[in-house]
């Protein structure tokens, strides 16, 4: 098969996503009082309602409806005041009542969109920029923006989990027998369906990442792809560049990571191109992505709506959402990731990449904002204003703090680090009290023990020597010690400056201010 770049020169990929997110932050299931709890012993959180036993009646979860309306408002959807649930009939062991309660043609959230920013290397998969918008100049990145339409977001109950025992790959094919865990059955699930507006696997990956950030910011799901609370199916077809008609699409399953989503779509695009270029036709089917072999395989012929025999759920009345209900939910909307990024760039002068890194996580952004606020209080060094410490604070969070959290498998809330600690540490660096390398040692102890950075500096005797006259004396002594190298520098071998600075750092036991040392040598050698 040809590679993706070559295929996309001649063919246009048409991609739409179906993104399923469990509302894991809710306490109970969609239509019963069973708890939502990942990892519980199998079949311990079930009842007659979620098992569909005769005579059991569903009672809707109001908090789940609030959550989907929140998701719709955050993605620019129109909130439909009147909608209803349907029965989607299918026979499979993961749903013991043999139907899934879901929404019909009219969902709670309809006709939305997200503006997708594709910057840097991510933008290079798209060979034609027709229909795209330029990135804002402030981003200083190559790339483009594209609008991704959202057809609907509907609410439904999740199915149970099948565990296939035996075989080599954990799939039903080749298994000795299968087990069913109904704990997940009935968990509130929202499904977002996009318009076929995505054109590259990278756009699909970035869209899913952006949507995940929105859901996490809203606090409606933990969005764990590893645990299955965020799942994505992709629909993809090809058409010749310049053609208007869509080709025959296939649906891809089992893309349970951002990488798998990208790689699965990329493979399927190349596979379809090979089929079409050899004179064949693409079958409308559901295909399974196998990460180990990096290929898709056919699972089944794609079902249509008629196959599910959808009809209105007789045990649930239609919904009539009031304007006051919708506005009450709207009042809970937090600052969304795109708005956070724009604010961080405008208010604190952060780069596009740094702002993206901070805005990607709600906890990190809140910690940054609190640290900037703390930089003006008495615990922070007097000369460290909010504007002066913004970049150092961002660097600490993106690099040192992130590495510490990953190494120790912690969240910010689980550490002894406070925003005031971070502001104080950034201020010490900004003032020149300690060097950037010393800051790493100070941070390690502060994070582990909860001791203030200033206390660590005092305890360890780390304070930088920033007395210019003292530093100049050290520099003069080193030049007198190495007169031959001083002459080589003056003769044009300016790379020796690093040697002189290293000698000065040794002479000051690592406590000399590197910036002042550098300036002193340049002054003495070139003055």
Q: Looking at residue 306, what is its pLDDT?
A: 64
pLDDT tens string 299-319:
887 665 567 889 999 999 999
To which H or E segment does residue 238 belong? strand 230-240
Q: Reduce the DSSP state of residue 177 to 3 states and report it.
A: strand
pLDDT tens string 64-81:
999 999 999 999 999 999
pLDDT tens string 95-120:
999 999 999 999 999 999 999 999 99
Q: How far apart are CA 71 and CA 329, in angstroms?
A: 10
Instruction: Output the pTM of the full model.
Output: 0.84
Q: How confident is the model at residue 492 (pLDDT cuts 50, 70, 90)?
A: confident
Q: From the options 1.10.1380.10, 3.40.50.2300, 1.10.10.410, 3.20.20.70, give the CATH code of 468-526.
A: 1.10.10.410
Q: How confident is the model at residue 236 (pLDDT cuts 50, 70, 90)?
A: very high
Average pLDDT over residues 36-63: 94
Could you tell me which residues come within 8 angstroms of residue 230 by beta carbon, excluding any fewer than 6 positions away? 19, 20, 21, 22, 212, 215, 221, 223, 224
Whether pLDDT at 267 is above 50: yes
pLDDT tens string 176-224:
899 999 999 999 999 999 999 999 999 999 999 999 999 999 999 999 9
Q: Looking at residue 113, what is its pLDDT?
A: 97
Do 517 and 507 touch, CB atoms closer than 8 A?
Answer: no
Do 287 and 250 touch, CB atoms closer than 8 A?
Answer: yes
Q: How confident is the model at residue 382 (pLDDT cuts 50, 70, 90)?
A: very low
Could you tell me which residues come within 8 angstroms of residue 425 by beta carbon, excluding any fewer than 6 positions away? 392, 396, 439, 442, 443, 446, 453
Whether pLDDT at 17 is above 50: yes
Average pLDDT over residues 317-331: 97
Q: Looking at residue 508, what is its pLDDT?
A: 75
Do 88 and 102 touch, CB atoms closer than 8 A?
Answer: yes
Which of 135-149, 324-338, 463-477: highest mean pLDDT? 324-338
Q: How far apart are CA 220 and CA 216, in angstroms?
A: 7
Q: Reduce the DSSP state of residue 415 to 3 states and report it.
A: coil
Q: How confident is the model at residue 15 (pLDDT cuts 50, 70, 90)?
A: very high
Q: How confident is the model at residue 381 (pLDDT cuts 50, 70, 90)?
A: very low
Whether pLDDT at 395 is above 50: yes
Could you tell me where in the chain the CATH 1.10.10.410 domains are found?
Answer: 468-526
Q: Looking at residue 378, what is its pLDDT?
A: 39
pLDDT tens string 421-465:
999 998 888 777 777 778 888 898 998 899 999 888 888 776 666
Is the dihedral angle over the CA atoms 359, 364, 367, 371 positive or is it negative?
negative
Whether pLDDT at 257 is above 90: yes
Average pLDDT over residues 359-378: 85
Average pLDDT over residues 369-386: 64
Whether pLDDT at 494 is above 90: no
Structure tokens at 59: 């009672």
Q: Reduce the DSSP state of residue 175 to 3 states and report it.
A: coil
Q: Looking at residue 205, what is its pLDDT?
A: 97
| Dihedral (Cα; 90, 95, 99, 104), 10-degree rounding | -100
- 91: region left, alpha or beta (phi > 0 left; psi from -120 to 50 alpha): beta
Nearest C-alpha neighbor of 40 from the set 141, 160, 120, 122: 160
Q: Looking at residue 263, what is its pLDDT?
A: 96
Whether pLDDT at 379 is above 70: no
Q: Looking at residue 518, what is its pLDDT?
A: 81
Question: What are residue 347's phi and psi, to 5 degrees?
Answer: -80, -30
Q: Looking at residue 213, what is its pLDDT?
A: 95
Q: How far apart are CA 371 and CA 448, in angstroms?
A: 18
Q: Looking at residue 512, what is its pLDDT?
A: 72
Of 496 and 388, the one with more pLDDT: 496
Do 423 and 371 touch, CB atoms closer than 8 A?
Answer: yes
pLDDT tens string 34-44:
999 888 999 99
To which H or E segment does residue 166 belong? none
Q: Reduce the DSSP state of residue 188 to 3 states and report it.
A: strand
Structure tokens at 402: 């992130």
Q: How many helices (H) and strands (E) does the chain have?
A: 18, 17
CA distances from 429 to 208, 504, 514 (A): 38, 19, 12
Do 199 and 208 touch, CB atoms closer than 8 A?
Answer: no
HSE (side-chain half, CA atoms, 13 Å) at 469: 0
Q: How far apart are CA 411 and CA 404, in angstroms?
A: 10
Q: Looking at residue 525, what is its pLDDT?
A: 83
To which H or E segment does residue 443 belong? helix 436-449
Q: How far apart are CA 353 and CA 147, in angstroms?
A: 21
Q: Looking at residue 300, what is its pLDDT?
A: 80
């Amino acid at each position: 098969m040809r590679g993706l770049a070559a295929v996309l020169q001649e063919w246009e990929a048409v991609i739409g996503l179906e993104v399923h997110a469990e509302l894991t932050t809710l306490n109970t299931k969609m239509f019963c009082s069973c708890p939502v709890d990942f990892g519980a012993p199998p079949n311990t959180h079930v009842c007659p309602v979620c098992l569909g036993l005769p005579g059991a009646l569903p009672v809707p979860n109001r908090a789940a409806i609030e959550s989907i309306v929140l998701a719709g408002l955050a993605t620019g959807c129109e909130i439909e005041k009147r909608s209803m649930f349907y029965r989607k009939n299918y026979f499979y062991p993961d749903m013991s009542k043999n139907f899934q309660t879901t929404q019909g043609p009219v969902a709670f959230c309809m006709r939305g969109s997200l503006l997708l920013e594709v910057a840097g290397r991510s933008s290079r998969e798209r060979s034609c920029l027709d229909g795209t918008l330029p990135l804002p100049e402030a981003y200083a990145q190559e790339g483009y923006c594209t609008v991704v339409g959202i057809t609907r977001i509907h609410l439904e109950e999740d199915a149970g989990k099948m565990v296939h025992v035996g075989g080599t790959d954990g799939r039903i094919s080749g298994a000795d027998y299968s087990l069913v865990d109904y704990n997940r059955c009935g968990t509130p699930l929202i499904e977002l369906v996009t318009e076929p507006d995505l054109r590259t696997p990278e756009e699909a990956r970035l869209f899913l990442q952006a949507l995940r950030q929105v859901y996490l910011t809203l606090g409606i799901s933990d969005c764990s792809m590893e645990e299955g609370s965020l799942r994505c199916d992709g629909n993809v077809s090809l058409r010749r560049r310049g053609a208007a008609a869509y080709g025959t699409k296939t649906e891809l399953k089992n893309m349970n990571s951002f990488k798998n989503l990208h790689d699965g779509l990329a493979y399927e695009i190349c596979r379809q191109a090979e089929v079409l270029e050899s004179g064949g036709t693409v079958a409308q089917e559901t295909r399974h992505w196998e990460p180990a072999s990096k290929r898709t395989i056919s699972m089944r012929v794609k079902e249509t709506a008629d196959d599910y025999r959808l009809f209105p759920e007789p045990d649930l009345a239609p919904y009539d959402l009031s304007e006051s209900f919708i506005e009450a939910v709207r009042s809970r909307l937090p600052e969304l990731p795109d708005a956070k990024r724009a604010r961080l760039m405008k208010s604190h002068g952060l780069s596009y990449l740094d702002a993206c890194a901070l805005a990607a996580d709600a906890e990190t952004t809140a910690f940054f904002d609190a640290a900037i606020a703390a930089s003006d209080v008495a615990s922070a060094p007097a000369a460290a204003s909010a504007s002066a410490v913004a970049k150092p604070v961002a660097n600490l969070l993106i690099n040192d703090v992130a590495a510490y959290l990953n190494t120790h498998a912690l969240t910010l809330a689980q550490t002894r680090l406070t925003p005031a600690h971070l502001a104080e540490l950034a201020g010490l660096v900004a003032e020149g009290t300690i060097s950037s390398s010393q800051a790493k040692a100070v941070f390690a102890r502060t994070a582990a023990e909860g001791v203030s950075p200033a206390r660590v500096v005092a305890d360890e005797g780390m304070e930088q020597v920033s007395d210019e006259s003292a530093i100049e004396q050290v520099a003069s002594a080193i030049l007198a010690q190495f007169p031959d190298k001083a002459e080589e520098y003056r003769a044009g071998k300016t790379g020796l400056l690093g040697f002189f600075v290293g000698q000065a750092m040794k002479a000051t036991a690592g406590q000399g201010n590197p910036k002042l040392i550098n300036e002193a040598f340049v002054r003495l050698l070139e003055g």
